[in-house]
Structure 1
């Protein structure tokens, strides 16, 4: 969508830029939902399977790979490892809980989307004013 917005800006196509602004608004809403999800706001819980629609077990990549985290993997059963074999993973020594990293990531995404939204609104208004002055 960012490429579409840039293309619309370069080619002076306000419709493409409007599509980008709608996407940016939806992106902000999605990231607000993610922040509420990881901070357990309003009945949402990070322990639920809401993000995967109860299809699979959800866990954040940051829960195992965060800054300072030491990850240890232990096999359930000794022997040959197959694709169905699962391992138990313990994580220790993280500097920051993974939900706060997710919240910071979503906050940065909101900031970038809002900046893009404001800029896109400015460009659309500038293009439409330019078209009106030509008539």
Structure 2
């Protein structure tokens, strides 16, 4: 039971990460945010790799999973700074999230809790794009996106700690297994010498 505690906990965190990533992927697809969509896809692949490495006792896969989590934390920190417009970051730079293929717009901008959407007709941009005015939101979309990224960072930090712990346990087990002889001492047994039986003729009565 104690041997499974670390592995089971890591698998549980990976499953939570997978659910959170899929939920985020859906809303990013609805908002046509191509850069987050690509990052979410890579994260989903890395989480699946982490689950496979945990179940199959593959320490190398866990190391790759842990290395990706470091990049994932950095990406989500950037997302938080982007939506909160920290420093020189601004949401007016559409190319960061959409590769300059469309206007940047979070799905939560129009569909946040309590939001009232009103089309804006008398605008220069209204001739080329759909311009709206959003009022009455209980929680503005930048804070929703920031909270979503904060949740990803929280799960990633725990996943990183447990991935390092489980991969260390796997490596120690591999080293100890090689030291005691590996498959030579447990999986393979030398054939034992058997005594030769002397054959004697059988006589039958006519």
Question: Do they fold alike, i.e. is TM over 0.5?
Answer: yes
- What is the match of residue 53 of structure 1? 99
Following superposition, the deviation at residue 90 of structure 1 comes to 3.2
Does the aligned pair in 2 maintain the 1:17–1:120 contact within 8 Å? yes
- What is the match of residue 18 of structure 1? 63
Classify 1:42/1:86 alpha carbon distance in 2 versus 1 (closer, same or farther; 3 Å): closer
* Residues matched between the structures, number: 127
What SS class does the counterpart of residue 105 from structure 2 fall into? coil
Higher strand content, 1 or 2: 1
Provide structure 1 residue ranges, at least 5 long, that are not aligned to the other structure.
77-84
Distance 1:87 1:22 in 2: 41
The normalised TM-score by structure 1 is: 0.84
Distance 1:15 1:92 in 2: 50
Distance 2:100 2:157 in 1: 31
Moved more, 39-48 or 108-117: 39-48
Structure with more contact order per residue of length (Cα contacts < 8 Å, sep ≥ 6):
1
Is 1:67 equivalent to 2:110 in the alignment? no
Does the aligned pair in 2 maintain the 1:35–1:102 contact within 8 Å? yes
- What is the match of residue 162 of structure 2? 119
Moved more, 46-55 or 120-129: 46-55
1:57-96 equivalences under 5 Å are 57-72=103-118, 87-96=130-139
Higher-Rg structure is 2
The normalised TM-score by structure 2 is: 0.57
- The CA RMSD measured in Å over matched residues stands at 1.9
Following superposition, the deviation at residue 75 of structure 1 comes to 8.0
Provide structure 2 residue ranges, at least 5 long, that are not aligned to the other structure.
1-45, 123-127, 180-206
Following superposition, the deviation at residue 72 of structure 1 comes to 4.2
